Structure 1
Amino acid sequence: MPFRKGDGSLSIRTKIIFAFSMLLGLMASQLIITITQVGRIADISSHVAGEGLTSLTQLRDIELSLMELRLAEQSAILPEDFTPSATNEQLFSSLQPYLRSSLPANDLPAGEVTAWRAALSAYLETHRVLAASLAAGDMAAARQTFTAARPQFEALLNATRSLTARELAANRGLGSLTTHLASQTRHLFTAGLIVATLVEIGIGWYLMRSLTASLARLVEGTRRVAAGDLTHEVYLDTQDEFSYLARSFNAMLKSLRDTQAENVKLHVQTVQMQQDQIRLLREQFSRIVKAQEDERQRVARELHDQAGQALTAIQLGLGRLEKLDDPAAAGSEARALRELTVQTMEEIRNLALDLRPSILDDLGLVPAVRQYTREFGRRTGLNVTFTADVIKCRFPAEVEAALFRVIQEALTNTVKHAGATRASVDMRVGPEELQITVKDDGRGFDLEEALQAGNKRSLGLFGMQERMTLVGGELAIESTPGQGTRVIATIPWPAYPDGRQTEPPRLLST
């Protein structure tokens, strides 16, 4: 089955994408933290450079204005003819807004700012009283007011300086915080980089270890298979492409085992078939040897029973002829001996024809078969007809001999077993083969029963089949009880030395 991502497993590609996603997530988190820290540093720096610096400047200006106003008061009570100047009025006016608005320093304690504003209000009220005394020309009252306001002025000046110190300390604290945040940002960036590197190394090590372990198992499996071990299957705990490859590898091993078992089975069957063929060849050889021995016994028996007895009779007749004095009796005896000699010669000629006709070697298959069927019909009384197409080429001698023996055996079986009155031998040519058909009108027989009987008929049938098989031909026997028998022998045309087939002969009946 193909690898599917939806079956609860993670592919290698998914694992790699997941690893890079984690790395990108860590880097994004680190970037967000860095941007946040930089924003805080920028805000603090802006505050220090803006509001903090403005607050310090204003507090310094207030302190300077108070001191200038105090000096102006001191200078005013010394002359006898004091006249309020424009500068004094400007200093007094510059301090008035701080009574109504808050100071720019946002980080100062509210209580101290309130106390400082009350002290400033009281001092400015004293300054108005002093200015009124000076305007009225009452220098004694003005000096008394100036002297009485000294502790009040010093408290206001100290409060102003305290606020300035606090604002300066706050700005310094913000600067330290900025430095701390910058250092913290560097540390966080470095730590994030180290963590991201370690995480990526860990994920890469895990993936590499998983992949190399799976690959090592597969390599070991292929090595074992190459060594001939088809039982070593590979099992992986992962659910990725390597796991699918392992399942495919195991399926291939199973297929190889099945194929090997089938090959072993086929080998056993082949060996059994070879043994059966050897046994059949031995049986065929035994049948051939037996057929040869039977043929020799038949020839020996016919020579002894017919030719031997005829020659003995001729010998005895010649002996009697020597003793006869009557010419008429001698002539009668001589005629009888001549007829017996002709008969004996005919029997010997028929015997030689049965063994192997010389015309087969001299003129070929068709003339030999034509002569044999004619002599066979004359000798046995069977009506044998022979038809053949014109054959322009000769078969090898062993092929012609095999075909002749098949025809001879088929006709002999017709006379011995079929009880037929007619038989025909037909030789027809085709584009690729020669077909010989021997047919009779006898009683027929059951072919399977005849082949299993183990009698002389079965030996003759086996002999015909073996002869055709040995020369590369085929033999078919068709027989039905009561409907006659037909023997069909087929042999391919002989080839030229270069492998070309001989040209098929013309189809002309003879």
Structure 2
Amino acid sequence: MGSTSADPPATPDEHTDCRWQERRRVARDLHDHIGGALATARRLLVECGPGVDDPGRLAAAQVFLHEAEDHLRGLLGELVTATELPPLGEAIEGFAAEAAPPGLDVTVKITGNENLVATAHRRALFLAVREALRNTFEHAGASRVAVSVRTTRWWVHAAVEDDGRGFDPERATDGEGRPARGIASMTQRVEDIGGKLTIESSPVDGTRVDMHLPLRPRT
């Protein structure tokens, strides 16, 4: 994976417009296809009230109910596909392209077969990497940040390293003695899936966040 500066990132307005158009499409499908079919089926069933024997209307109502069911299943399938996490490199670069400050060089390197990582664990790892990047973007004042993810049969290791302003991880608290929210969030996500997160930071060398997750060998 190369630097995210290779391709011009989409503007926030473009992303907002895409999301708006997708929501309009989903709303239109719900109204026109599913809502319309259900409304027609309901009308037919009401017309077949007590004392009314009309097999034709009952059969028609059943057809419209099946139509609504088919459209709903298709729409849910599209939504599930749309919310699936893409390959880690693509997901990380996509976030960096949207959120990185101008001029910051972000490189992403992925090695190994990430399909060995369970889907839920892969998502949690991405969210932890994303939080580390967000902290860098907001606080480090770095000129470069490198992300690497390496997967083997036995473990996966992710690292986020920048050349910005370092800090003392022991003193990064929320004001009440607890770890700062960003650090706590990353740590909890990694520990919840059986991994370990460590942070090394200094004013001279910048900050490095390492995440280690053991994997169960697949037979």
In the aligned structure 2, how far is the partner of 1:481 from the partner of 1:392? Answer: 33
2:168 is the alignment partner of 1:417: no
Structural RMSD (CA): 3.2
In the aligned structure 2, how far is the partner of 1:450 from the partner of 1:404? Answer: 22
Q: Superposition pairs for residues 93-492 of structure 1, below 5 Å?
A: 344-347=13-16, 361=84, 363-377=86-100, 380-391=102-113, 393-451=115-173, 453-454=175-176, 458-492=180-214
Larger radius of gyration: 1
> What amino acid does structure 2 have at the position aligned with 1:382?
L
Closer, same or farther: CA 419–444 of 1 in aligned 2, 3 Å: same
**TM-score of the aligned structures, taking structure 2 as reference length:** 0.58
In the aligned structure 1, how far is the partner of 2:85 from the partner of 2:142? Answer: 32
Structure 1 residues 452-461 or 430-439, which shifts more? 452-461
**TM-score of the aligned structures, taking structure 1 as reference length:** 0.27
CA offsets 1:332-366 (integer angstroms, 9 cap, x no match): xxxxxxxxxx853424669xxxxxxx777253333
Q: Is the 8 A contact 2:190 2:211 kept in 1?
A: yes
Closer, same or farther: CA 419–363 of 1 in aligned 2, 3 Å: closer
Closer, same or farther: CA 484–396 of 1 in aligned 2, 3 Å: same
> What amino acid does structure 2 have at the position aligned with 1:425?
V
Closer, same or farther: CA 403–349 of 1 in aligned 2, 3 Å: farther
Q: Is the 8 A contact 1:360 1:367 kept in 2?
A: no
In the aligned structure 2, how far is the partner of 1:442 from the partner of 1:451? Answer: 19
Partner of 2:166: helix, strand, or coil? coil
Closer, same or farther: CA 447–375 of 1 in aligned 2, 3 Å: same
Partner of 1:393: helix, strand, or coil? helix
CA offsets 1:380-424 (integer angstroms, 9 cap, x no match): 442100111031525333212211111111111111111111101
In the aligned structure 2, how far is the partner of 1:451 from the partner of 1:362? Answer: 31
Q: Superposition pairs for residues 53-64 of structure 1, below 5 Å?
A: none
In the aligned structure 1, how far is the partner of 2:170 from the partner of 2:103? Answer: 30
Q: Superposition pairs for residues 37-76 of structure 1, below 5 Å?
A: none
> What amino acid does structure 1 have at the position aligned with 2:141?
G
> What amino acid does structure 2 have at the position aligned with 1:479?
S
Q: Which structure has more strand as a fraction of its residues?
A: 2
Q: Is the 8 A contact 1:373 1:386 kept in 2?
A: no
Q: Is the 8 A contact 2:187 2:197 kept in 1?
A: yes
In the aligned structure 2, how far is the partner of 1:360 from the partner of 1:456? Answer: 33
Aligned residue pair count: 150
Show the counterpart of 1:150.
Answer: none
CA offsets 1:73-116 (integer angstroms, 9 cap, x no match): xxxxxxxxxxxxxxxxxxxxxxxxxxxxxxxxxxxxxxxxxxxx
Closer, same or farther: CA 389–482 of 1 in aligned 2, 3 Å: same
> What amino acid does structure 1 have at the position aligned with 2:95?
Y
> Relative contact order (C-alpha < 8 Å, sep 6+): which is higher?
2
> What amino acid does structure 2 have at the position aligned with 1:502?
R
Closer, same or farther: CA 349–410 of 1 in aligned 2, 3 Å: farther
Partner of 1:420: helix, strand, or coil? coil
Partner of 1:385: helix, strand, or coil? strand
Closer, same or farther: CA 414–367 of 1 in aligned 2, 3 Å: same
Quote how far apart the aligned CAs of 1:470 are.
Answer: 0.9
Partner of 2:133: helix, strand, or coil? helix
Q: Which structure has more helix as a fraction of its residues?
A: 1
> What amino acid does structure 2 have at the position aligned with 1:372?
F
Could you tell me which runs of 5 or more consecutive residues in structure 1 were left unpaired when the two chains were aligned: 1-341, 351-357, 496-500, 504-510
